[in-house]
């Protein structure tokens, strides 16, 4: 290489050319993405996974306590003699779980964001990071989030009603939670080719749509399929929970 360079220098000197003639163009790599796109790409990697985990983690304990927990405490009979229907009881339990699950998720994300910002300020800040998310994106995130929270609440309430006690309910819910974690990990995997059928899979579909929205990509067919699929499954779980709640052999079995 050294000999080759010397020969080239000799030849261009004979032609009265400058050394820069050997390298006419110098390529420089420059990131032209805006701060919003950089932040969106960063959030799209971790935020969908965190949202799903926080939703299920927040719903698990409440769902078990107001179903299997009431069986253990013997307070479920009080509800059965009230003047409200079994469907209304189950709906009330599901809405309570949804509220606590959603609140838990919001507080969890707020705490993580605060910790991140404090860490960034201590480290001297992070260049090119802007946490601005448009109102339109926030609305679409909530549109996808609502049926996901409803799905988690209805499924966990149904499992809690079926279980004899808190211990049995926990043993049923643990595999569900592990499956949720597994689907969350799959959703953040890079290089995965998305197909239409993937948006029919609960949890996985929401994570993919969250990812797309945070990156500034709005695909209405994905949003509608995800919303519809999760609402249908949540409705089926709600009907299943109501059906179980009408069976005394399930409610009072030991």
Per-residue model confidence as pLDDT tens digits over 185-229: 887 776 666 777 888 888 889 988 988 888 888 889 999 999 999
CA distances from 136 to 41, 55, 58, 145 (A): 17, 22, 26, 14
pLDDT at residue 45, rounded to an integer: 72
Confidence of residue 28 (pLDDT cuts 50, 70, 90): low
Specify the higher pLDDT residue, 129 or 202: 202
Helices (H), 35-134: 35-65, 68-73, 76-80, 86-122
Least confident interval from 7-11, 17-21, 42-46, 131-135: 17-21
Phi, then psi, of 13 in degrees rounded to 5: -70, -35
Q: Are 56 and 153 in contact (CB under 8 A)?
A: no
Segment 58-76 mean pLDDT? 90
Nearest by Cα to 45 from 223, 192, 226: 192
pLDDT at residue 234, rounded to an integer: 95
What does the alpha-carbon distance between residue 246 and residue 250 come to, in Å, rounded to a whole number? 8
pTM equals: 0.78
pLDDT at residue 152, rounded to an integer: 94
pLDDT at residue 62, rounded to an integer: 92
pLDDT at residue 213, rounded to an integer: 86
Q: Token pair for residue 224? A: 């509608």
Segment 172-186 mean pLDDT? 89
pLDDT at residue 90, rounded to an integer: 93
Q: Are 218 and 140 in contact (CB under 8 A)?
A: yes
What does the alpha-carbon distance between residue 239 and residue 14 come to, in Å, rounded to a whole number? 89
Q: Are 239 and 150 in contact (CB under 8 A)?
A: no
Least confident interval from 33-47, 128-142, 220-234: 33-47
pLDDT at residue 235, rounded to an integer: 95
Question: What percent of the chain is predicted at pLDDT more than 70?
Answer: 76
Q: What angle do CA 97, 186, 59 make, to 5 degrees?
A: 10
Could you report how far apart the first and last alpha carbons of the chain are, in Å?
Answer: 84
Segment 78-93 mean pLDDT? 88
pLDDT at 116 over 70: no
Q: Are 89 and 251 in contact (CB under 8 A)?
A: no
User: Is 28 buried (19+), middle (13-18) or exposed (0-12) by CB count in 10 A?
Assistant: exposed
Helices (H), 129-216: 135-162, 166-187, 204-214
């Amino acid at each position: 290489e050294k000999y080759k360079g010397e020969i080239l220098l000799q030849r261009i000197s004979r032609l009265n050319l400058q050394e820069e003639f050997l390298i006419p163009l110098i390529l420089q790599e420059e990131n032209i993405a805006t701060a919003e796109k950089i932040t969106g790409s960063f959030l799209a990697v971790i935020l969908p996974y965190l949202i799903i985990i926080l939703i299920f983690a927040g719903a698990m304990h409440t769902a078990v306590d107001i179903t299997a927990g009431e069986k253990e405490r013997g307070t479920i009979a009080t509800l059965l003699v009230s003047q409200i229907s079994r469907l209304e009881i189950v709906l009330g339990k599901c809405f309570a779980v949804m509220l606590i699950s959603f609140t838990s998720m919001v507080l969890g994300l707020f705490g993580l964001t605060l910790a991140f910002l404090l860490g960034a300020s201590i480290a001297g800040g992070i260049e090119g990071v802007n946490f601005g998310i448009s109102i339109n994106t926030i609305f679409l995130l909530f549109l996808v989030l609502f049926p996901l929270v409803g799905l988690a609440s209805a499924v966990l309430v149904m499992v809690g009603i079926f279980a004899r006690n808190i211990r049995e309910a926990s043993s049923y819910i643990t595999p569900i939670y592990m499956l949720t974690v597994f689907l969350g990990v799959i959703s953040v995997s890079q290089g995965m080719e998305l197909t239409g059928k993937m948006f029919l899979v609960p949890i996985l579909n929401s994570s993919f749509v969250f990812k797309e929205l945070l990156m500034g990509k709005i695909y209405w067919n994905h949003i509608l399929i995800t919303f519809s699929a999760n609402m249908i499954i949540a409705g089926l779980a709600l009907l299943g929970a109501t059906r179980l709640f009408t069976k005394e052999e399930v409610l009072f079995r030991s």
